[in-house]
Amino acid sequence: MSETIPNFYAPPRTFMGAERITDLSAHKLDYAMLGVPYAEGTFAPYIQSGQADMPNALRDNPVTIFFDIGEVGLFDVDKNLTLLEGARIGDIGDVVISPGEGKINRDRMSNSVKEILASGAVPIAVGGDHSITYPLVRGFEDTHKTMDFIYFDAHLDFADMPLESKYNHGTQTTHIHQLPFVRNITVIGARNSTAAEFQRAKAAGIRIIPVHEVEERGAEDIMQEVIDASVPTYVSLDIDGMDAIYVPGTTHPESGGMTFKQQKELLFELNKAAKGNICGFDIVELCPANDVNHITALTASKLTALMMGYRSHFLNQ
Ligand SMILES: [Mn+2]
């Protein structure tokens, strides 16, 4: 902090107060944060839309109001750890969305991931609805021979193309499952599914961990089972995996979910089990217009920072 307090100041309106990066190839970032303001995968009006506003909601609600994560780090009181000290985090902006052009938009999401990977950074995407995760994961096709996929979600998102819509926020796992380089798939927190979808997902080999299993076994036991540190894991966090009371601004709130504390512990143990071998992350399904006192935006912002922080912590051990 400067010893001279300026008379006027504007905090950077970026993720975590990070530097705004316009030329990705000219920077060596640890984490390239990418907004994906896309909500065209949502079953509006049956399910509330508005997730396209999520990236800016996180930019406006950083995990700390001091905008200095990259300088002094983020202190995790629970773990007595200072995270992200000196981490090179950049906000590279938002995927450009052409309204009504689903394929073009999905290709831009995949190509954005490819550009980030080519720069040597880890992609950290802020949705958007959950349909973005398929094109984001597809972006690893040229660089990753094998990877595992884990997602936190109240829903399986393994639906059988409802309403003649192939690419929506209830089908992305169906498509990810078909990617040849994706090996094991695990979902944690699932609790709203049809019997048919549940059986289809089980038959496809998807490891389904319901909330009661999180409560009974704890995060460490689960992550030691499902995570293989020798293979990179992509992580997708649909905030509705948490109980509705923790995420009032989520698109499709579901009661009976994880607590914030459980979700945080799951991210810690996930990174511990993976020894930091996490190749990408996204967080999705905040509808800021439905939020209450920015609770959900702040929670999503904090979980994103913790995800990066735990990854770096265990990677450097
Ligand atoms: Mn989802």
Tens digit of each residue's pLDDT (9 = 90 or more) over 57-85: 999 998 876 556 666 788 999 999 999 98
Per-residue model confidence as pLDDT tens digits over 149-200: 999 999 999 998 888 899 999 999 999 999 999 999 999 999 999 999 999 9
Q: How far is the CA of 68 from the centre of ligand 1 (A)?
A: 31
Q: Is the pTM of this model over 0.85?
A: yes
Which uninterrupted H or E stretch holds 25? none
Buried b (16+ CB within 10 A) or exposed e, 46-68: eebbbbbbbbbbbbebbbbeebe
Parallel, antiparallel, or unpaired: how do β-strands 122-126 and 278-284 relate? Answer: parallel
Q: How far is the CA of 209 from the centre of ligand 1 (A)?
A: 15
Q: How far is the CA of 145 from the centre of ligand 1 (A)?
A: 25
pLDDT (mean) for 261-289:
98
Q: How far is the CA of 73 from the centre of ligand 1 (A)?
A: 30
Q: How far is the CA of 272 from the centre of ligand 1 (A)?
A: 24
Provide the β-strand partners of residue 258.
Answer: 242
Q: Tell me if 221 is assigned to a ligand binding site.
A: no
Report the half-sphere exposure of 316 (CA within 13 A, side-chain side): 13
Q: How far is the CA of 184 from the centre of ligand 1 (A)?
A: 18
Q: What 3-state class would DSSP assign to 175? A: helix
Per-residue model confidence as pLDDT tens digits over 187-202: 999 999 999 999 999 9
The C-alpha atoms of residue 143 and residue 266 are separated, in whole angstroms, by 27
User: For a pLDDT cut of 90, what percent of the chain falls above it?
Assistant: 85
The C-alpha atoms of residue 260 and residue 239 are separated, in whole angstroms, by 10
Q: Tell me if 157 is assigned to a ligand binding site.
A: yes
Q: Tell me if 107 is assigned to a ligand binding site.
A: no
Q: How confident is the model at residue 282 (pLDDT cuts 50, 70, 90)?
A: very high
User: Which of 95, 139, 37, 63 shows the shortest CA–CA distance to 309?
Assistant: 63
User: Which of 47, 241, 290 shows the shortest CA–CA distance to 163?
Assistant: 47
Q: Tell me which amino acid residue 214 is.
A: V
Q: Tell me if 130 is assigned to a ligand binding site.
A: yes
CA dist list (Å): 251 to 60, 188, 254, 277: 19, 18, 10, 30
Q: How far is the CA of 21 from the centre of ligand 1 (A)?
A: 29
DSSP annotation of 155: B
Q: How far is the CA of 214 from the centre of ligand 1 (A)?
A: 18
Parallel, antiparallel, or unpaired: how do β-strands 278-284 and 147-152 relate? Answer: unpaired
The C-alpha atoms of residue 2 and residue 4 are separated, in whole angstroms, by 5
Q: How far is the CA of 104 from the centre of ligand 1 (A)?
A: 22
The C-alpha atoms of residue 246 and residue 98 are separated, in whole angstroms, by 33
Q: How far is the CA of 1 from the centre of ligand 1 (A)?
A: 40
Whether the bond between 45 and the residue before it is cis, its omega within 30 degrees of 0, is yes
Q: How confident is the model at residue 12 (pLDDT cuts 50, 70, 90)?
A: confident
Q: How far is the CA of 266 from the centre of ligand 1 (A)?
A: 17
Burial status of residue 199 (CB atoms within 10 A of its CB: 0-12, 13-18, 19 or more)? exposed
User: Which of 260, 262, 264 shows the shortest CA–CA distance to 295?
Assistant: 260
Instruction: Please give the pLDDT value at position 148.
Output: 98
Q: How far is the CA of 294 from the centre of ligand 1 (A)?
A: 21
Q: What is the mean pLDDT of the chain?
A: 94
Q: How far is the CA of 132 from the centre of ligand 1 (A)?
A: 10
Burial status of residue 213 (CB atoms within 10 A of its CB: 0-12, 13-18, 19 or more)? middle
Q: How far is the CA of 17 from the centre of ligand 1 (A)?
A: 27
Q: How far is the CA of 130 from the centre of ligand 1 (A)?
A: 5
